[in-house]
Amino acid sequence: MRANTWAGRNKVEVRDVPDPKILNSRDAIVRITSTAICGSDLHLVDGYVPTMQDGDVMGHEFMGEVIEVGPSVSAERLRVGDRVVVPFPIACGACAACAAELYSCCENSNPNAGIAEKMFGHPVAGIFGYSHLTGGFAGGQAQYARVPFADVGPLKIESELTDEQVLFLSDILPTGYMGAEMCDIRPTDVVAVWGAGPVGQFAMDSARVLGAAQVIAIDKEPYRLRMAAEAGHTPVNFEEVDVRSRLLELTGGRGPDKCIDAVGMEASHGSAHIHAYDRIKQAVRSETERPHALRQAILSCRSGGVVSVIGVYGGFLDKFPAGAWMNRSLTLRTGQCHVQRYMKPLLERIERGEFDPTRIITHTLPLDEAERGFEMFKNKQDNCEKVVLKP
Amino acid sequence: MELTAVTTIRKPAPEVYAFWRDLENLPTFMAHLEAVRATGDRTSHWVAGAPFGQNVEWDAEIVDETPAEKIGWRSTGKADVPNAGTVRFVPAPDGVSTEVHVVLTYEIPGGTLGKAVAKYFGEEPHQQLDDDLRRLKQVLEAGEVVRSDGAPWGKRARAEFPQRPAQPLSDDELAKGADR
Ligand SMILES: NC(=O)c1ccc[n+]([C@@H]2O[C@H](COP(=O)([O-])OP(=O)(O)OC[C@H]3O[C@@H](n4cnc5c(N)ncnc54)[C@H](O)[C@@H]3O)[C@@H](O)[C@H]2O)c1
Ligand SMILES: [Zn+2]
Ligand SMILES: [Zn+2]
């Protein structure tokens, strides 16, 4: 089959690789009809997630048709021919983490848990196409994928919704939603979201669906801010204004009640020399993150507020504003999304018209043009917000 | 050498105990074991795999046992690598899970065999046992040892780092299986 693979730092390559086969009895094989490129893929391509290997099949946002199921997958749960969206964390459904609906912390789905434990103190779940630290599972930017624990994760789509309407249930819609949910939003809340990428856009929409009084979008890409403004959110361009002053102005001096970091470890900074400080430390690997958005969110947040982190961090960061966090009673909440927890309720919200996930799709390309898709998405060319690939 | 490891398994103690007490189950999750055969109610014959050097076999007997709570065993006769172990099954505070506490001791011999065993355990010997217990947990909670494209052979995952790429296996690779 054809598959988009990691080919070293800053390089992806669509190659011929073997077709996947059933390896465990609870596996299914899915013929992929739609798949997407995610901001998380950029961290892999940019070389900030260790344990990637040449030839790793990328991609963790995919859906398609079940063409084979392992002997332990019951027919009530999944059959050949079912149309499914696959959540990016691989989860067994039986461990204590899964029982607590903390699917991205599943204790059984990562064969390389010992390595992850060394990095993170405790292991994390397997994830499709997301390094060997999270298991070494081939991803979904491909014609076919093997889906472990297929009796737990995949969500059957039985209505007539298009791929484009449901594909993002695999990751970014639940991720944005979880980002907003962790904020415990009240009707009087002003919610500020750092990052107007796909994840940020869905965090903003979710904050509104959950009842926020106002949602503020912070980014530097005018077209992404325009997209947020068209959806009813208030844009702030961090290259044009001082973010903290603008936020104070927008909130009567209080600061946003809730702040969401939808940027992660590769943030850029309005001030060139601070950006350079972290960029150099990151380049020489003495710091693994460039945490400008997170620092700014903590410093901007109203006392007693919540800072919800859905942007991805991988290692250690410098100059964490612990003083602001501690002395002003802030709550910091975070996680890789527990996608399985949100898929069904969010599907219902899509069916009811509360979310239009298609609003962020700017490019649809054949899988063979994945390299061009990465290029555009990474370099913000051609107003690229979200790329869907068709195998 | 003494190794200790612990895990919590979301199954009741009698079930976890019963699985371990059927010693023939041990090779499904313990990386260095090729086979264990029960030869009597309390006696058994153990065969270690390649990582321990070829043809390391020994007899063992259960010397201490409390159903659903504890099993203690030790090698008997002239074992090449004399060893002993105990496992305790302790109900966890959540009321549904079981803590599994394992202690293994090995008398590492001299010569090439001793070297092979020492190499197998490496610089952080407890890691092997940690991984064994992770797989025990996978088997009991999730049904079997989980396999990925990068680590398709389950028990050998850590030893294979850096792994094969996370890319489906070819028919040849699958046919050859773990014993390449
Ligand atoms: N927690 C999860 O489960 C989960 C799931 C998916 C993605 N993610 C993560 O979410 C993050 C965003 O993903 P995406 O697909 O939207 O990526 P993206 O790269 O398209 O979006 C990031 C946006 O942040 C903007 N940005 C950079 N520096 C900034 C700053 N200092 N302040 C404000 N905005 C800034 C960029 O201009 C860009 O528009 C990534 O870190 C990704 O790995 C997390
Ligand atoms: Zn993603
Ligand atoms: Zn689990």
One DSSP character per residue, A235-278 reads EEETTTS-HHHHHHHHTTTS--SEEEE-S-TB---SSHHHHHHH
For residue B111, what pLDDT is reported?
A: 85
| Residues B151, A94: C-beta atoms closer than 8 Å | no
Burial A19-53 (b: 16+ CB within 10 A, else e): ebbbbbebbbbbebebbbbbbbbbbbbeebbebbb
To the nearest whole angstrom, how far is the Cα of B156 from the nearest Cα of chain A? 10
Closest C-alpha among B122, B155, B150, B118 to residue B136: B155
Hey, what domains does chain A have and what are their CATH numbers?
A: 2-171+337-390 (3.90.180.10), 173-334 (3.40.50.720)
Q: Is B151 on the interface with A (CB under 8 A)?
A: yes
Is it the case that residue A70 has pLDDT exceeding 50? yes
For residue B55, what pLDDT is reported?
A: 73
Q: Best of A24, A25, A32 to disrupt the B interface by mutation (most B CBs within 10 Å)? A: A24
| B156-178 mean pLDDT | 85
For residue B87, what pLDDT is reported?
A: 98
- When the pLDDT of each residue in chain B is averaged and rounded to a whole number, the result is 91
How far is Cα B159 from Cα B167, in angstroms, rounded to an integer? 19
Query: Considering only A206-210, A240-244, A267-271, which range has the smallest mean pLDDT?
Result: A267-271
Where are any strands of DSSP class E within chain B?
2-9, 33-38, 43-48, 56-66, 70-76, 83-91, 98-106
Closest protein CA for atom 21 of ligand 1: A197
| Residues A25, B143: C-beta atoms closer than 8 Å | yes
How many of the other CB atoms lie within 10 Å of CB of A361?
Answer: 16
For residue B125, what pLDDT is reported?
A: 84
Alpha carbon of A306 to ligand 1 centroid (Å) = 19
Could you say which of B10, B143, B148 has the minimum Cβ distance to residue A136? B148
Alpha carbon of A94 to ligand 3 centroid (Å) = 5
Q: Is B130 on the interface with A (CB under 8 A)?
A: yes
Measured from the alpha carbon of residue A89, the closest ligand is 1
**Confidence label for B121 from pLDDT (cuts 50, 70 and 90):** confident
| A189-213 mean pLDDT | 98
Q: Best of A29, A51, A95, A124 to disrupt the B interface by mutation (most B CBs within 10 Å)? A: A95
**What pairs with residue A234 in β-bridges?**
A216
Is it the case that residue A316 has pLDDT exceeding 90? no
| Residues B134, A114: C-beta atoms closer than 8 Å | yes
Is it the case that residue A52 has pLDDT exceeding 80? yes
Is it the case that residue B179 has pLDDT exceeding 70? no
**ipTM metric:** 0.94
The residue among A281 and A138 whose pLDDT is bigger is: A138
Closest C-alpha among B168, B72, B134 to residue A114: B134
Closest protein CA for atom 7 of ligand 1: A40
Is it the case that residue B28 has pLDDT exceeding 90? yes
- When the pLDDT of each residue in chain A is averaged and rounded to a whole number, the result is 95
Annotated domain spans of chain B: 2-179
Query: Considering only A200-209, A277-286, B16-25, which range has the smallest mean pLDDT?
Result: A277-286
Model confidence, pTM: 0.95
Which chain A residue is nearest to residue B127, measuring alpha carbons? A114
Q: Which run of H or of E encompasses A176?
A: helix A172-181
Share of chain B above pLDDT 90, in %: 69
Indicate the top mutation candidate among A37, A40, A181, A275 to test ligand 1's pocket, ranked by most ligand atoms within 8 A of CB.
A40
| Residues A112, B151: C-beta atoms closer than 8 Å | yes
Is it the case that residue B174 has pLDDT exceeding 50? yes
Q: B2-179 — its CATH code?
A: 3.30.530.20
For residue B180, what pLDDT is reported?
A: 43
CB A143 within 8 A of CB A31: yes
φ/ψ bin of B102: left (φ > 0), alpha (ψ from -120 to 50), beta (otherwise): beta
Which chain B residue is nearest to residue A5, measuring alpha carbons? B167
CB A264 within 8 A of CB A292: no
| Residues B167, A5: C-beta atoms closer than 8 Å | yes
Burial B118-149 (b: 16+ CB within 10 A, else e): eebbeeebebbbbbbbbbbbbbbbbbbbbbbb
Question: Tokens 């949100």 label which residue?
Answer: A342
Closest C-alpha among A283, A286, A285, A291 to residue A266: A291
Could you say which of A21, A51, A94 has the minimum Cβ distance to residue B168? A21
Q: Is B156 on the interface with A (CB under 8 A)?
A: no
Q: Identify whether B162 is preceded by a cis peptide bond (ω within 30 of 0).
A: yes
Alpha carbon of A386 to ligand 2 centroid (Å) = 11
**Confidence label for B102 from pLDDT (cuts 50, 70 and 90):** very high
Measured from the alpha carbon of residue A124, the closest ligand is 3
DSSP annotation string for B36-53: EEE-SSSEEEEEE-GGG-
Measured from the alpha carbon of residue A197, the closest ligand is 1
